[in-house]
Structure 1
Amino acid sequence: MMKQRQLWIVLLLAWSLAPMVWQLISSFSTNDALIATPMAFQERWTLQNYRELWQSNPPFWLYLINSSIVASVSTLLTLLLALPGAYGIARLPKLWRQNSRLFITAAALFPYVLLFLALLELARTFQLGNNLIALALPYSALSMPLALLLLSAAFEGLPQDLEDAACLEGMGLLQRLRWILIPLISPATASTGILVFLFAWNEYPVALTWISDAKMLTLPVAMARIAGTSVYSIPYGAYAAATVLGSIPLLVLVLIFQRQIVSGLTNGAVKG
């Protein structure tokens, strides 16, 4: 029985890691080798794909910085607004709380692509184009429903006695949030922050319309331009290298907060 479990774990890991391993191998391969014999491990290793990215104009690392700025600002803004909002939802009467979550769930499931034209008009009206900080505003708004759902479930899982004891000690609402409640839901906060960061890092349609300056492009838009640099051939190797470099910050972030992510998502799944 134990051997069967181990076998299934190995198969699951192979299934999950195979695309990433192949992408890594492709990033060190020449484009001709990938097109001719993509599954043959021959002498085709090269660093040219990474050199082209770093020597491009603008350099590829600039896109990584742009995406990091947008995703970080979006995550901080979302958490700053969602934490007090989620606390308010968790302390509503049961009927109001259920109705609130119903509307928030509907907002979270709403396909944001349908808001494309409205967001474009906002960018034109308020001149928000080519501004990385402004780009974080729609990202924060689009991530808010999911953040409210996860964090409100975490707040609701805290014993009311803790807050009552803090009130008896003379602590105000902001003090209770700052010193007691928010630290206790740090796993849920970390997992929510990671999800918001991932959305902002990978988002494409809004970034495509709000940013036109080549030096301010985010990573997904820049990668799309790499894939379309030639009419006659696709630079598979350069695109694979860009994918690898774009995945490294996310991988490091997830490895650092992996315990908080698993704990926060598990708690949010069983509360409510």
Structure 2
Amino acid sequence: MKLRTVPIFILLLWSSAPLLWQLYTSFSTDQALVTPFAELAGRWTLQHYRSVISSNPPFFLYLWNSFFVGALSTLLTLLVALPAAYSLSKMPTAKSNIVRMVLIGCALFPYVLLFLALLEIARTLSLGNSLFALALPYAALSQPLAILLLGSAFAAIPSELDDAARVEGLSLLNRFRWIYIPLLAPALASTAILIFLFSWNEYPIALTWISDQSKLTLPVAMARIAGSSIHSVPYGAYAAVTVLGAIPLILLVIIFQKPIVSGLTSGAVKG
């Protein structure tokens, strides 16, 4: 092993250690978790996965709920953020800088402080126990970051391209369809992944907006699926839920790896 690869190997091991520990925990018996270095004949088990998969409602229903809310909030966010980012890129520099500063402040603002206000809105409008309604605050909270990322991508497109499209008679909708969206595909992919991950992992809003057991998202269901109590914490079942819940995200990142990396690094190098 070359010396320069040692730091990379250490960083990779450090980053993958939580996942490896979760895998070990999910396949270990409860006795093996209590005495990890003891010689146990029945150290490995699939019981944690069996108990999770055979839960009622089915575990995969929670996966579908999280996927539906994540996909819907991502779509809603991009539908609003795309034209907003285009408008931001066409603003004069002084005004656009002010708007960007406001967006940065909104993106950094801890959304937990808005929790009670969102809860009151949900009660007033009767938005509880609706996966569609749950996607609305997620889309709203994701707007500042999405506009900032897509605004930077729009700024990297030469203005001469937009002028040429206007001369050819293309409407704004057609310019988006034939020019901007294909050129912004990497930025759209990376932005969509970030929004989806936020919606997938969000807990406080989903905990209070959804009380119907069949409509719970995965983070909320994790606290209930294993039947934990004050005297017993089912670490193996929690680990199994974590592993199963991480598989769709890992596959998603693997499938869209190239556009994600390209979108995150676009604009880093000119030329």
TM-score (structure 2 length as normaliser) = 0.95
Counterpart of 2:249, as a letter, is: L
- Structure 1 equivalent of residue 254 of structure 2: 255
Task: Evaluate the alpha carbon distance shift between residue 151 and residue 100 of structure 1 in structure 2; reply closer, same or farther with a 3 A threshold.
Answer: same
Task: Evaluate the alpha carbon distance shift between residue 210 and residue 162 of structure 1 in structure 2; reply closer, same or farther with a 3 A threshold.
Answer: same
**Offset, 1:231:** 2.1
Deviations 1:112-137 (A, max 9, x none): 00000000001101100000010000
Report the Cα distance in structure 1 between the residues aligned to 2:189 and 2:150, rounded to whole angstroms.
10
**Offset, 1:224:** 2.0
SS state at 1:231 partner: coil
Are 1:206 and 2:205 an aligned pair?
A: yes
SS state at 1:128 partner: coil
Within a 5 Å distance, the mapping from 1:146-157 to structure 2 comes to: 146-157=145-156
Report the Cα distance in structure 1 between the residues aligned to 2:99 and 2:67, rounded to whole angstroms.
32
Asked if the contact 1:66/1:132 (under 8 Å) is kept, the reply is yes
- Structure 1 equivalent of residue 223 of structure 2: 224
**Offset, 1:42:** 6.5
**Offset, 1:158:** 0.4
Asked if the contact 1:28/1:237 (under 8 Å) is kept, the reply is yes
**Offset, 1:38:** 6.6
Report the Cα distance in structure 1 between the residues aligned to 2:189 and 2:227, rounded to whole angstroms.
36
Asked if the contact 1:226/1:235 (under 8 Å) is kept, the reply is no
- Structure 2 equivalent of residue 69 of structure 1: 68
Asked if the contact 1:188/1:268 (under 8 Å) is kept, the reply is no
- Structure 2 equivalent of residue 51 of structure 1: 50
- Structure 2 equivalent of residue 19 of structure 1: 18
Are 1:31 and 2:30 an aligned pair?
A: yes
Report the Cα distance in structure 1 between the residues aligned to 2:124 and 2:79, rounded to whole angstroms.
26
Runs of 5+ in structure 1 lacking a partner? Answer: none
Asked if the contact 2:55/2:225 (under 8 Å) is kept, the reply is no
Within a 5 Å distance, the mapping from 1:114-193 to structure 2 comes to: 114-193=113-192
- Structure 1 equivalent of residue 85 of structure 2: 86
- Structure 2 equivalent of residue 266 of structure 1: 265
**Offset, 1:182:** 1.6
Counterpart of 2:172, as a letter, is: L
Report the Cα distance in structure 2 between the residues aligned to 1:15 and 1:268, rounded to whole angstroms.
29
Runs of 5+ in structure 2 lacking a partner? Answer: none
Query: What is the alpha-carbon root mean square deviation over aligned residues?
Result: 1.8
SS state at 2:137 partner: helix
Counterpart of 1:55, as a letter, is: S
Q: Which deviates further from its counterpart, 86-95 or 41-50?
A: 41-50
Task: Evaluate the alpha carbon distance shift between residue 95 and residue 227 of structure 1 in structure 2; reply closer, same or farther with a 3 A threshold.
Answer: farther
SS state at 2:45 partner: coil
Counterpart of 1:174, as a letter, is: L
Task: Evaluate the alpha carbon distance shift between residue 197 and residue 41 of structure 1 in structure 2; reply closer, same or farther with a 3 A threshold.
Answer: farther
Counterpart of 1:35, as a letter, is: V
Report the Cα distance in structure 2 between the residues aligned to 1:202 and 1:9, rounded to whole angstroms.
28
- Structure 1 equivalent of residue 3 of structure 2: 4
Asked if the contact 1:187/1:263 (under 8 Å) is kept, the reply is yes
Report the Cα distance in structure 1 between the residues aligned to 2:246 and 2:157, rounded to whole angstroms.
35
Asked if the contact 2:74/2:192 (under 8 Å) is kept, the reply is yes
Report the Cα distance in structure 2 between the residues aligned to 1:20 and 1:223, rounded to whole angstroms.
17
Counterpart of 1:61, as a letter, is: F
Counterpart of 2:202, as a letter, is: E
Q: Which deviates further from its counterpart, 85-94 or 219-228?
A: 219-228
TM-score (structure 1 length as normaliser) = 0.95
Report the Cα distance in structure 2 between the residues aligned to 1:227 and 1:52, rounded to whole angstroms.
8
Q: Which deviates further from its counterpart, 262-271 or 218-227?
A: 262-271
Counterpart of 1:168, as a letter, is: V
Task: Evaluate the alpha carbon distance shift between residue 48 and residue 227 of structure 1 in structure 2; reply closer, same or farther with a 3 A threshold.
Answer: closer
Identity of aligned residues (%): 63
Asked if the contact 1:187/1:260 (under 8 Å) is kept, the reply is yes
Deviations 1:228-247 (A, max 9, x none): 62221110100000000000
SS state at 1:164 partner: helix
Counterpart of 1:179, as a letter, is: W
